[in-house]
Chains A and B, each alone.
Chain A
Amino acid sequence: GAGVSQTPSNKVTEKGKYVELRCDPISGHTALYWYRQSLGQGPEFLIYFQGTGAADDSGLPNDRFFAVRPEGSVSTLKIQRTERGDSAVYLCASSHGGQQETQYFGPGTRLLVL
C-alpha cells in the first residue's frame, strides 16, 4: 500500500512569509507526528495527533508554528512569519496509534527560508 506522502517536497520562501506543509498518512493510522530535522541532526519532535486532536504539542518551538488534522487523516503544519532559522527538513510520520508502535516516515519537505 501507499506510504506516508508529504507535499511539497521542497519549499523556498522569503523571511516573514507564511507556509503550509501537508502530510498524507498511511490509511487507517490514527497517530500522526511532525518532526523537524536540521542538517547533521536527528529528527526533533514537534507535535503528535491522535485522531483529530493534538495529544502533545510540547515540541512546537513557539506560537508561529501550528498544525491541524481536521478529519483525522491529512495534516497541515503551518508556519507564520517564517525566519531563516526555520530552514530544515520537516518530517511527518504515522503509526497505528498505540505506544511503542513503529513510526512510518514520509520523505520530508525541505524548507528553505531566504
Chain B
Amino acid sequence: SQKIEQNSEALNIQEGKTATLTCNYTNYSPAYLQWYRQDPGRGPVFLLLIRENEKEKRKERLKVTFDTTLKQSLFHITASQPADSATYLCALGETGANNLFFGTGTRLTVIP
C-alpha cells in the first residue's frame, strides 16, 4: 500500500540548533516533493519544492534533500527560532497529476 511517513509526530529542539525532519514514502513515484508549514487553525503554507532530478535545495535557513533511491526527503531548519514552531508537512506530486499526497506532519517545537 502507499504510505508517506514523517519521522515523528513531535520534535522538540533548543533554539539555535538545527532541526531535521524526515519524510519517507512507499509505493509512490514522485516527480517532485514539496514542504509546507501549517500553524494551528490555518491552512498549509508552501516553503520549498524539490524535483526528482535535484539532490538539494536551499532557501535562507531552510534546506531540503531528495533521495529517490532511499525514497526519502530530509528537511533542515538551521539556527532554529521559537517562531519556527509549527507542523511541517511533506507532500508528493506524481507525473501527470496535479494533486498532492501529504504526510501526517511533524509538530516542531523550538524551545527558547
Contacts and interface: CB of A to CB of B under 8 A. Distances in A.
A42 B89 contact: yes
Interface string A79-114: 000000000000101010001111111111000000
11 contacts: A33-B98, A42-B102, A43-B44, A43-B100, A45-B99, A56-B99, A91-B44, A99-B97, A102-B34, A102-B49, A105-B36
**Size class of the B contact interface (CB-based, 8 Å):** 20 to 34
A67 interface: no
B59 interface: no
Contacts, number: 64
B76 interface: no
From A35, A42, A48, A93, residue with most partner B Cβ within 10 Å: A42
Contacts of B44: 43, 91, 105
B46 A103 contact: yes
A41 interface: yes
Given A41-B104, A42-B89, A42-B104, A102 B99 contact: no
Given A42-B89, A99-B93, A100-B49, A105 B102 contact: no
Interface string A1-36: 000100000000000000000000000000101010
